[in-house]
Structure formats: structure tokens, C-alpha cells
Amino acid sequence: MTGNKYDVIIIGAGASGIMAAAVALKDNKTVLVIENHEAPLRKVKISGGGKCNFTNLDMSADHYISKNPHFVKSALTQFDVADFLQEMDENNIQYQERKLGQIFCKNSSTDIINYLLDQSKDADFSFNTDITSLQKNNNIFEIETNKGSYNSTSVIIATGGISFPNLGVSNFAAETAKNFGLNVIDFSPALVPLKLQNPYTELSGTALHCKASIGKKFFYDNLLFTHKGLSGPVILKISSYWSKGDSVSIDLLPNANIKELIDRDKSSKVKEKIHSFMKTYFTAKVASWILYETDIENKNIQELSNHQVELLYKFIHFFIVKPVADMGYDLAEICKGGIDTKELSSKTFEANKVSGLYFIGEAIDIAGNLGGYNIWFAFASGFIAGKCQTNNKS
């Protein structure tokens, strides 16, 4: 056996890896974090528009997609949102609640980054380090890198997913899992804008509150028309449930019924043009677009035929789009797929077949919805795998 010996080696200095290091260090374990780029927590830095949406007050397994939807439950029980927010308070990290229970850093993601780096400062870090081999011999993991050889009794793989390739992502976790005989579910982009064959370019940049559904799954949030198709939080959320060939049904006015609104207006004595009426509920641009698409001229609302009211109702409440593709890993916030959860213990994240080998964070087949769920799962799985090290004999 050659190289420097550590109790725990963590591969990947992202949200999950740094959390694992911080927790393992609490028991005075010797910890090495190997990162193939120059800095830690680079995704956390840009997350949430620079303010890191790190958790959500509405936390449950319902917000996660996985082949095994129950797998995440243990992690969510072991790592509690209220406890973590208390920890933030005690460390003077300011945060704020936004809509739908989302918790963001109040000032900047740098606040939570500094906290995590402070908690993990006693680890050794090896940046710009490429791993050339990882093997297990006689219960010891041996790791060869371009900077030297290391060994440990525990290895935590925290190398994330493959979305946002401009950050230099890698498929290391999946390749390592396969080398150890573990099943891996192919990655695919999630939380990603959708591409339309004929995008509504005239509306590009326009946002509106909608309900988007695929089958029984639906979300309420803002939709954004883009020059290639559709984006905005409601589309990112529903995209995680979209497969090629699926249509997305969009309710452009989810909190009202256009028929009832028209009936009410029709029966009033005031004569109002349909475009002006529509502007009460939509921007002028969207109102013009709806009338153009339904081929309704700008006449008094009392002159609308039943057929035209029906057309408006169908268009507004059941606007159906059939995306031709998603916008791919370049624009996907996360990936679906990863290490098959049936290969891991849901209580510890250790591989069932390989003792001492852990997989955490986005590398495993758990994909959170938009709203702080992905960083939260990265933190939770890191916390748990890190805590397991404190019980291990080394």
C-alpha cells in the first residue's frame, strides 16, 4: 500500500462533498477532499441567481423524482430544515423566504459558501487533481492521481451530475459505480427549458403565471416565452416529467374561468372591446396574440358568438404544446438518473455491495424539483454520509 493515508477521502468539492467533509471532521477524522477544478462549491456559487436557494419550508419526498420515490425519505428525516435554519441563525447567515416556501441567502450565496468552508477548513484539499484509478484492495481504497497516491478505508463520491458542462462536470460517479459492479440509470436533462418546432417568437421575453400539466402532474408558476420555445419556473418544473412525444397542457389563466368572466362582462351594460377586456387579465401583447391565434377580431364583447367564447376558453385554459426536444445539458439545472438507489442504503448512502464506498448528491438517482430541493438533498446526503464516518473505526 502506497501514498498518504486518510480516514475518509471525498471526491468532489461541491455541496454534498463539502457538507460530508464538515460532518466527518467533527469526530477528528482525517479527511482529504479531491477536486478536479480550481475551487470548491462552484455550482452553489451560481445557484439561485447567486443567492443559493438552499432549502424549502415545504419539504417532503413528493418533491423528488427517482425510480424509488421512497428512498429519499430517510435522508429528509435525518436532516431537518428547522435545525439547519437554526444553525444558519447561530452563524449569522441571513436568509429569506420567497414564494412557495423557497429559502434563499438574503445577500449572496457566498455567505453559505463561507460557512461551509469554515466548517470543513480542517480537511486537506487537493484541487486541480485528476484521479487516474480508484481500487479497493484488502479493505483499503487506493486512489492514484496526477498529484500522488492516497488511501483510506472510506471513500465518498460526490462528483455531481453532468448538466452545465461549462463548469467542467464529469461522469466519474457513474463510471466508478459501474467499475464496482453497481447499476447506473442513464442521466437525462431535467429542470430544463423546452424547445418548440414553431416558437412564439413575437412573445419572446414575455412571462405570465400559468398552470402546466402533463397527465396528472401539474405545477403553478411563471412561464416565459423564449425565442426557441418555453422556459420559466413552471416549464423547468414540468420538464422533469416530460419525455419526447409528450404534450404539455398550459392553463394561461389558472385562477379564473374566461367563460364566466366573459358572461359577466357581456351582461353588463358597458360596451367593451374584447382586446380591452383581455387586457384586464393579460398584457396587451398576450391579449393580441390570443385573439390572433383564435382568429377573433377586436369587436364588442357582446358580439362574441358562443363558438368564439368556446374557442377562447379552449385556447386560454387548454393551450397545448408538443415540445420537440428539451434544451439539453447546457441549460439543464440538474440531471435525472444516476447511481441506482437500489444499490445504496437509504440510511447511510453506502453501497450495499462495497463496504466503505458512498455515493451522495446529484450523482445518485434522486432529482429534486425547482425550489431548493437539489441543494438540500446534496446537503442531506452529505450530512448523513459524513456522520457515518464518525461511527466508523479507521
Ligand X SMILES: Cc1cc2nc3c(=O)[nH]c(=O)nc-3n(C[C@H](O)[C@H](O)[C@H](O)COP(=O)(O)OP(=O)(O)OC[C@H]3O[C@@H](n4cnc5c(N)ncnc54)[C@H](O)[C@@H]3O)c2cc1C
> Which residue bears the cell 484492495?
137
Q: How far apart are CA 389 and CA 348, in angstroms?
A: 10
- H or E segment to which residue 50 belongs: helix 42-50
163-192 residues near ligand X, rule: CB under 6 A: 163-164, 168-170, 172
Does residue 193 belong to the site contacting ligand X (CB under 6 A)?
no
29 vs 43, which CB is nearer to ligand X?
43
Interface residue with ligand X among 6, 9, 17, 31 (CB under 6 A) is 17
| Between 251 and 326, CB nearer to ligand X | 326
Output the smallest distance, CB 171 to ligand X, in A.
8
Per 3-state DSSP, the chain is made up of helix, strand and coil in percentages (nearest 5) of 35, 25, 40
| Binding string, residues 351-380; x marks residues near ligand X by CB under 6 A | ----------xxx--------xxxx--x--
Min separation Cβ 45 and ligand X, Å: 9
Within 212-251, the residues that bind ligand X by CB under 6 A are none
- Determine whether 28 is exposed, middle or buried from the number of CB atoms within 10 Å of its CB (0-12, 13-18, 19+): exposed
| Number of residues in contact with ligand X under rule CB under 6 A | 39
- With contact defined as beta carbons under 8 Å apart, do 54 and 372 qualify? yes
Comparing CB distances to ligand X, the nearer of 83 and 295 is: 83
**Applying CB under 6 A, which of residues 9, 21, 47, 282 lies at the interface with ligand X?**
47
Stretch that binds ligand X, among 12-20, 81-89, 314-322, 385-393 (CB under 6 A): 12-20
Q: How far apart are CA 223 and CA 212, in angstroms?
A: 9
DSSP codes of every residue in 292-348: HHTT--S-BGGG--HHHHHHHHHHHH-EEE--SEE--TTT-SEEEEEE-GGGB-TTT
Q: Indicate which single residue of 3, 4, 27, 37 sits in contact with ligand X (rule: CB under 6 A).
A: 37
Among 157-165, 224-232, 307-315, 349-357, the segment contacting ligand X (CB under 6 A): 157-165
DSSP state of 230: E
Distance CA 352, CA 342 (A): 8
Residue 287 is a binding residue for ligand X (CB under 6 A):
no
Query: Cα-flanking dihedrals φ and ψ of residue 111, to 5°?
Result: -60, -45
| 7: contact with ligand X by CB under 6 A | no
Rounded distance, CA 139 to CA 226, Å?
Answer: 53
Region near ligand X per CB under 6 A, out of 35-43, 117-125, 192-200, 276-284: 35-43
- Judged by the rule CB under 6 A, the positions of this chain that interact with ligand X are 11-17, 34-37, 42-44, 46-48, 52-53, 131, 158-160, 163-164, 168-170, 172, 333-334, 361-363, 372-375, 378
